Structure 1
């Protein structure tokens, strides 16, 4: 039985995946593994991203990398190892990361004079290098980023969401003044929002983190927050205004136009491989993944359907159809596997979430038609072959719109507004997001988290797509005036 007392979907169980309503955590872990996205590794807390998952990550990297370069950002590569003394230079930074650091204290049997840390993030070593590169305001801005992995010890790990090594880009920029730096922070936050909405079909809330949730060493942290199918929030990207904190710690200064010595204003921003977890948990269903078409490694899978005496011919016809689709810019795979049933192939590709399946058999070939099934649809369609090819991009766009609309409706339907602590606790326990006034007191935030496991996800921006309304009220927890002139978003998080 499911958690709400209903009988599980037998069709879903045939796919070998625990239904979401029975155990969402088991469903997630099984989908990650059975859809060939990732697997556990012999290194505690670290995963191996398999080719299908890697192809998805490469598509994510490619889209973002093109946008970074289009706005004048340059990629570089910094070492994985960072001297411990660098981490110690910025007090808030070391306090925030100390429990998570991996340290290297020996080479062979020889003790190092100074330990290294495996980078948890690169603000410190980048600040050190910038101090030697920056002389004049004419050198600014520095617009840098790198792709790589970072290391943060995790006690309870979950593939893509929380691993001791994870993959990301980290952007780092330096500017002559605060206004320019803050504009950079906002530019990247808006880019992440655009990426999630237009490529991943993910509705996200743009907002500012409270002081309690701010990045260690930042003056201001902004995030995009998405709602997963179990009601929990996932911080899907961040953009930080670091002020002059790291500049002063690492002597990143320059000669201004007025011939004065000034410290640079710096930023950092990132999206990591946990965004793959967001794709899985926002769009997946009891049958597995449901890949957003614009980022999917495979947008269309063609299944040749034939007997032993004509299977090779059907595979050839499938390749011809694939070439037509590729010429139209569609990512296609022809499943030529022998020795497995068509039903197995259908289930396998549904589990992997490929947006469109095309079946091609001898009778279809004679009739000039193909059988098409969208991953988000129950029924198959029989279409003229030429129409299927010509209309494929529009079909993929329609699937994207469906996924975005469904996820948006789910988020809005599962976000409630409350004004009392009793209503707050009931809503959080029911797996909802909560909009409520809060006084802004960190001790109140801490108490709420201890009692309900819910945190302020962010304070929505005035021009955020969702929940942006400005209004005054009193804190549901302390009875004091709102500290933000609007309701903030509370939820349990990954």
Structure 2
């Protein structure tokens, strides 16, 4: 097992991976150092540096260098800060506020289902973790171990939780004594550690991350299955209704399902810049596997009087969604000016910038104008809009515009003496800067601004949905498969659902086969199965007749399966 340093644990690390992360951190720190300098225009052009880009903003194009763009966006946009521990990050208020809104949204829904929030310890005994062989094998390479406490070596090492099934189910066994104790539904908002070495990427793939993990126990498979899908609907709603990000609901193939699960359902996202799929949230039916391992049983409530009551194992679920959701949102909506935050999760929905103040403006006029500006903010707050003013007198309006565009605030409201005379404000939408500005009467702000924010939210989702839809291609011929991947698409193909066949497809599309034409920027990355979509294409697949798309497979296709390169 890979061991990480936690309170004196001895690491078994891959130095090359850490070296890469440290290099990435240095790049990010340089970007932050630039931000603190006086803003000036970068000279020259070229592939990396955007012509005319101010140093306060992003100086590399998203389409030219996604990695550098992403690091600049998350640091200059004050979403995340690097630490001296590779793969572990500081979530700044800008990103943590988004996470809190996700929490509020999800908590309100799961509480109606009877789910209660709780908290279990960070550390898991090795004996407990090892009780479930298939489960721990799925996480073996990522488990961090504590081997020392203070100056003393521990007699028995402790695992830092990679997930909490084994930590929680001993408790379930104690709590569930009768069918009357069912269902038992618990959820915790916590951190987990997975000692990742492959392609670390803030928010998307890190050693420590935040998530919620729900764990429930039910009397029957039917009850468990109903909850699995209900939770999946809520995950879809988080992405669609809050983050304005489209996802596809489906079921994981056996090869890709959660270790130890009966089956796994998923919401799968898509990153247009790379054409890669990304797992966005999962809801698992664990079946009775863990119940048998931890002896979680109840007596048969339907046994006839006088008969010996058989002990029945409960049916269990687990489900989780992580701060990866924030990274998916950033990669989906961000542009070459920085973040673009959907209004429903934005920390600030509208920033009000006073303009038109000059050296000739009297102190009396300035004070009067600022009072009017604050009155506009108060009216918006009264209407339920998260509004702020930017009254800084050491920066120009143009500098402020760039600053708030970088941070992705959905709506900028400009207010100057001419606006005051006309009793209007001038507005600019962050998601449509090229569309220019428009005016709204001050008297109508209380109704027009909330309505406009909802329009921005729906427009952002529509744009992202159209892009994802355009990049889901139905493929029935193998010759079309890799070219479609190279064109930054995911592919829906007829597939036999056999794990060995999935491995073969990944190999055949990876570029390791002589003469195979692949994306030069990812020559070793083959396509994996993302999910079996619940919404199956109507055309093309005839059960028992259509052949699996893999040219080396002689089996018949069972389902349309979405394949793609992925994170």
Band of TM-score, shorter chain? over 0.9
Match of 1:104 in 2: 146
Contact conserved, 2:49 with 2:60, CA < 8 A, in 1?
Answer: no
1:390 aligns with 2:447: yes
Task: Using the TM superposition, give the Cα deviation of residue 12 of structure 1 relative to its aligned residue in structure 2, in angstroms.
Answer: 5.7
Q: Which runs of 5+ in 1 are unaligned?
A: none
For 1:207 and 1:175, the matched residues in 2 are separated by: 22
Aligned partner of 1:358 in structure 2 is 413
> Whose Rg is larger?
2
Contact preservation (8 Å) 1:355, 1:375: yes
The aligned counterpart of 1:72 is: 114
Q: Deviations over 1:267-316 (max 9, x none)?
A: 00011000001110111112111111111111111112223645444333
Of residues 479, 487, 493, the one that matches 1:430 is 487
Match in the other structure for 1:252: 296
2:527 aligned to 434, 437, 454, which one?
Answer: 454
Corresponding pairs, count: 486
| Equivalent pair of 2:58/2:69 in contact (CA under 8 Å) | no
Query: Would you say the 8 A contact 1:45–1:157 is kept in 2?
Result: yes
Does residue 214 of structure 1 match 2:214?
no
Residues 138-157 of structure 1 aligned to structure 2 (within 5 Å): 138-155=180-197, 156-157=199-200
The Cα shift of 1:25 comes to 1.9
Q: Indicate if the aligned counterparts of 2:379 and 2:445 stay in contact, CA closer than 8 A.
A: no
SS of the residue 2:203 aligns to:
coil
Residue in 2 that maps onto 1:239: 283
Taking the aligned partners of 1:468 and 1:78, their CA distance within structure 2 comes to 46
Q: Quote the Cα distance in structure 1 between the aligned partners of 2:48 and 2:215.
A: 51
Deviations 1:381-413 (Å, cap 9, x if unpaired)?
A: 122112233211111111111111111110111
* Structure 2 unmatched ranges of 5 or more: 1-45, 304-308, 511-525
**Does residue 126 of the first structure (1) align with residue 177 of the second (2)?**
no
Shift of 1:9: 6.0
Partner of 1:285: 335
TM superposition shift of 1:470 = 8.3
Tell me what 1:174 maps to. Answer: 217
Q: 1:467 to 1:202 in 2, by over 3 A?
A: farther
User: CA separation of 1:468/1:399 partners in 2, compared to 1, >3 Å: closer, same or farther?
Assistant: farther
Q: Is the 8 A contact 1:13 1:19 kept in 2?
A: no
SS, match of residue 336 in structure 1: coil
1:383 aligns to what SS in structure 2? Answer: strand
1:471 is matched with: 541
Q: 1:134 to 1:277 in 2, by over 3 A?
A: same
SS at match of 1:58: helix
Shift of 1:422: 2.6
Structure 1 match to 2:558:
484
1:24 counterpart = 2:66: yes
The answer as to whether partners of 2:97 and 2:345 remain within 8 angstroms in 1 is: no
Alignment correspondent of 1:349: 404
Aligned residues: CA RMSD: 1.9
Cα distance in 2 for partners of 1:13, 1:480 equals 58
Write the distance in 2 (CA, Å) between the matches of 1:150 and 1:330.
34
2:311 maps to which residue? 261
**How far did residue 241 of structure 1 move?**
0.4
Equivalent-residue separation in structure 2 for 1:81 and 1:315 (angstroms): 54
Identify which of 129, 133, 157 aligns with 1:91: 133
- In the alignment, is the contact (CA less than 8 A) between 1:12 and 1:286 conserved in 2? no
1:376 aligns to what SS in structure 2?
helix
* TM-score (normalised: structure 1): 0.94
Give the TM-score taking structure 2 as reference length.
0.82
How far is the alpha carbon of 1:322 from its aligned partner? Answer: 1.2
**Does the 8 Å CA contact 1:90/1:245 hold for their aligned counterparts?**
no
